[in-house]
Amino acid sequence: MSVSVRPRISLPMLFFLAVTAGCGSPESAPPVPDNSTSSGEEGSQSQIQLSSEAFANNAKIDERHTVNGDDVSPALSWSGAPAETVSFALICDDPDAPSPDAPADDPWVHWVIYNIPADATSLPAGLPKELELSTVSGALQGVNSWPLENVGYRGPAPPPGSGQHRYIFRLYALDATLQLEAGASKEELLAAMQGHTLAEGKLIGVFERP
């Protein structure tokens, strides 16, 4: 007569099996990092609702606003800014450049604009590529990452075949008008905003070229 013997599993082995099983679940997978430009201030919250008629959040940007079209800035609108807001600033960059599979350490900058007045709730499409905007009273534009013609907005222009890129628009509500000259870089704007950010809003558009 044969007798079957059930193998004994030690407590350490049970613990190991439970941990490895949990690691394989979809819920435990790490989120995709968002290394786009944020103010980095602990007190700020993404509470501003930022939107555009040119694209929905996480949807394709209309080609009119890209290198394939007229390359003009999209219309933006927002709500929910704190009552203490004195001015707004906006940065748009591409954290996936030059390729989502091998992004650079610093996102490619597409737009820098600041000292937007506190009573503004929108920006019209097609803002001129000027340092001082007459169409948005008091607003100044900085430089983007292009070596030439780098004032104001430059639209998505990902390398062909590099896959889908994210273009992240961040609007910052500030408690001051920044003492910053026109033509500032993204880094200069972020430094000037330190200690002044009340709230943030984020809108993501996507675009790729085959």
Let me know if residue 17 belongs to a domain. no
**What is the extent of the structural domain holding 170?**
36-207
CB 48 within 8 A of CB 77: no
pTM recorded for the entire structure: 0.81
Q: pLDDT band for position 24 (50/70/90)?
A: very low
pLDDT number for residue 33: 45
- Domains in the chain: how many in total? 1
Average pLDDT, the chain: 86
Q: pLDDT band for position 21 (50/70/90)?
A: very low
Let me know if residue 114 belongs to a domain. yes
Which CATH number goes with the domain that contains 75?
3.90.280.10
Let me know if residue 86 belongs to a domain. yes
